[in-house]
Structure 1
Amino acid sequence: MKYGFLEQLIVMNRTVKNSLTNLAILLFGILALGCQSEKEYYIFTSFREPADEGLYLAYSEDGYHWESLGGPFLPPEAGKSKIMRDPSVVKGPDGTYHMVWTTDWKGGNGFGYASTKDFIEWSDQQFIPAMSHEPEVVNVWAPEIFYDDEEERYIIIWASTIPFRYEKGEEEERNNHRMYYTTTKDFEKFTPTKLFLEPGFSVIDAVIVKRKKDDYVLVLKDNTRPNRHIQVAFGESPLGPWKNYSEPFSDFLTEGPTVLKDGDKWLIYFDSYGAKTYQAVSTTDFKTFTNIDDQISLPEGHKHGTISTVSRAVLDKLKANAKTK
């Protein structure tokens, strides 16, 4: 009985060890599968001149090399001109993507809006007349959408010209832009439009970047003549005030910046319309910028858009519905 009992203990011990080993293997497999299924891929919105076809998309696994998904995925219907320029998208906390865009090159007083879960099925397009209270407004350019997780709201900023409203340099009165904004929680009610940025010069194409709580960067284009390049400013709130404007880090005739996080680096992509190409820089502090043009590749014809992320399931669906036009 003594040895039988010991043998039983040994068998039980082996069984427990084997069970624990199997359980560990199972848990590891589940975690690995979960990590694989939760991997996010970058998605880059775009358009093609003359901007009358709608939304184009590109994707990337590493944030540097981009493959075209073609387009158009959303033909433009909002606005008088029925165009879609500068599509800006952000993913909300519920996984819904909200997109805004330029609907009129000149003469418009608002921007377009639509939402989606997968970039294939979309809500009805809306025209948001955010500058209808300004009868002399010339345009509403490049609306950029940002999710403010501190206040659980969406902030939409854009550039508009109101002639003779602000001092100017060499710009014409109808090309002297300042940045404005509105906020919303549900895209049904919007706060009254307010001035977002008056840096003392004509400014367009601003993008809000959150580094951490109370630490924000604004990437913007100085649109004055003869500058027309990109720089940054800093603030403690996504609504500013913005200060400590940097020297330009981009070449002459550049615009449309968008930013993605890559480990401890930030990549800033922008449209070099003078050179008719896309360019990018990397930075860890938004003070020193390194050109990475030799490390990136984008589809031919890619234009001013923004970068977000999608799941593997959404990417697979997009690939299956790729528009090759």
Structure 2
Amino acid sequence: MKNKIVLLVALFGTLISCSKEKEVYLFSTFREPADKGLFFAYSEDGYHWNDLGGPWLAPEVGTQKVMRDPSVVQGPDGTFHLVWTSSWRGDLGFGYASSKDLIHWSEEQLLPVMTDTSTVNVWAPELFYDDEQDRFIIIWASTIPFKFEKGEEEEKNNHRMYYTTTKDFKSFTETKLFLDPGFSVIDCVIVKRGAKDYVLVLKDNTRPRRDIEVAFGESPLGPWHDISEPFTGFKSEGPTVVKVGEDYLIYYDDYGNMRYGCARTKDFKSFEDISDQVTLPEGHKHGTIFRVKQSVVDALLKQSKADKGL
């Protein structure tokens, strides 16, 4: 009887282990000049990335019909949601589509989030799933000339961050100001470390700076305080954050040096430049990193081979 119990416990443990499918890191990206669409890279360790090719979705909405800064988040029901910059100038919103498998996509939409017709642009929408409120928060950068104080920037390049929230991507809350740090700011990313413990990674887009910094808050909507000194060099942008073990890796487009950079931190106060320890596909541009099940990547790999006739 004792042996049977031991056998059953071992079998149960095996079944539990098998049910926990391995997860892989996926990186949404685009290729200049951003007219082809959505690309992916994947990694098992968060440091070394393999090209998954593309485009997996070609841009069809917006004035310029490009796909820059693709941000992907998987909802609790398994649906993947994608938002992106659809034009450099002229759009009062951003692109949106959804998918169950990252291969087959819904019809694309342009979500008109800025009602002020003097808005110059809607840049780099970023998705964040707020599990405390069961909602999606979307943040982005826009310029409304003569609305805010500015430094050396032109009026059409003096950005602030805005946001809306949604539970179903059909109805959205009224657009509100997300961040006005007193200077031009773009490319913000929300990171949750714990209850009432959030970090905002942001780009100071002022002409003397153009670097990446962090701020802290007790809510994913702020208020944000204690903005840090920069931890990247001049001309860096497009950060995305992934937790690997006890470390947070902050990937960013080090466009001033024409390379991709990465900083490692445990506390968002001290940062280590590990750009020489990571590898990414040639032509990779900034997007977001998220986790998926191994089967999702396997299906993408299979489809990629089929598209190439392999």
Superposition TM-score, scaled by structure 2 size: 0.96
Which residue of structure 2 lines up, in the alignment, with residue 3 of structure 1?
Answer: none
Number of positions where the alignment pairs a residue of Structure 1 with one of Structure 2? 307
Choose the corresponding residue for 2:11, options 3, 26, 32: 26
Partner-residue secondary structure (3-state), 2:150: coil
In 1, Cα distance between equivalents of 2:187 and 2:14:
45
- Are residues 1:40 and 2:23 paired? yes
Choose the corresponding residue for 1:147, options 119, 129, 147: 129
Map 1:1-325 onto structure 2 (within 5 A): 16-35=1-20, 38-131=21-114, 133-322=115-304
Aligned-partner residue type, residue 15 of structure 2? I
Shift of 1:182: 0.7
Aligned-partner residue type, residue 116 of structure 2? E
Shift of 1:255: 0.3
Q: Encode CA deviations 1:77-132: one digit per residue, 9 max, x unaligned.
A: 1112111000001111111111100001111110000111111011111100111x
Partner-residue secondary structure (3-state), 2:56: coil
Partner-residue secondary structure (3-state), 1:147: strand
Partner-residue secondary structure (3-state), 2:18: helix
Shift of 1:62: 0.7
Shift of 1:33: 2.0
Higher mean alpha-carbon deviation, 62-71 vs 26-35, is at 26-35
Shift of 1:250: 0.6
Q: Encode CA deviations 1:122-173: one digit per residue, 9 max, x unaligned.
A: 1111100111x21111100000011111111111000001111111111011
In 2, Cα distance between equivalents of 1:299 and 1:97:
23
Give the aligned CA root-mean-square deviation in angstroms: 1.3
In 2, Cα distance between equivalents of 1:149 and 1:34:
23
Identity %, equivalent residues = 64
Shift of 1:17: 3.1
Shift of 1:276: 1.3
Partner-residue secondary structure (3-state), 1:70: coil
Which residue of structure 2 lines up, in the alignment, with residue 9 of structure 1?
Answer: none
Partner-residue secondary structure (3-state), 1:315: helix
Aligned-partner residue type, residue 54 of structure 1? G
In 1, Cα distance between equivalents of 2:244 and 2:292:
16
Partner-residue secondary structure (3-state), 1:45: strand
Q: Encode CA deviations 1:287-316: one digit per residue, 9 max, x unaligned.
A: 001111122100010001000111111111
